[in-house]
Structure 1
Amino acid sequence: MLIQYPIIHIAVWIAALLFSVAVCLNIFRVLVGPSLPDRISALDTLSVNAIGLILLIGIGTGSRYGFEAGLLIALFSFLTTAALCKYLLRGMIIE
């Protein structure tokens, strides 16, 4: 089911455009980041922005699969960030 009110539809797509700009800026910070902790935090922020973008696209198209994809990406993003931080602090992930 698509959104019935045109102003909400326009607002969702403008927000999706702004989220995509944020994702591009996060990708730039991941590639050019001055240190490894900066790159890890940029990667975490990238995943949060990607989740927001996927949810907005799901709202805009009326698909419920966007919410499920957002939940899965959030789960894997948390696990990846925790593993990268543990590797950065201790040098190994599994002890």
Structure 2
Amino acid sequence: MSRHSFVANQAKMQTDPAFLKRTIADCLIYANSEPLENQKRFAARHKIPLRDVAPVACKRFVNGLVQNRYTYEKYREGINAGKGFDFFQVADSL
């Protein structure tokens, strides 16, 4: 994703409630599609039931984006380090 797209989407989440709602819905789908092993690790770290993993992780992730705690630079650091995008690791860091 380009810096322009990242920043534009981040700004749109702050001003467009419908876009924010769609982002959260997409996040829930993505989080639920992550490998079960990753979901179980996140649940154990946060001492939450497995059924709460997607909502908790997405709340952390989306709030981090909206509050500019997850920046384009952090996104690129993960990609450049060869880590790719580890959703639950990012959610943990926010």
Instruction: Using structure 1 for the length normalisation, give the TM-score.
Output: 0.35
Higher helix fraction (1 or 2): 1
Instruction: Using structure 2 for the length normalisation, give the TM-score.
Output: 0.35
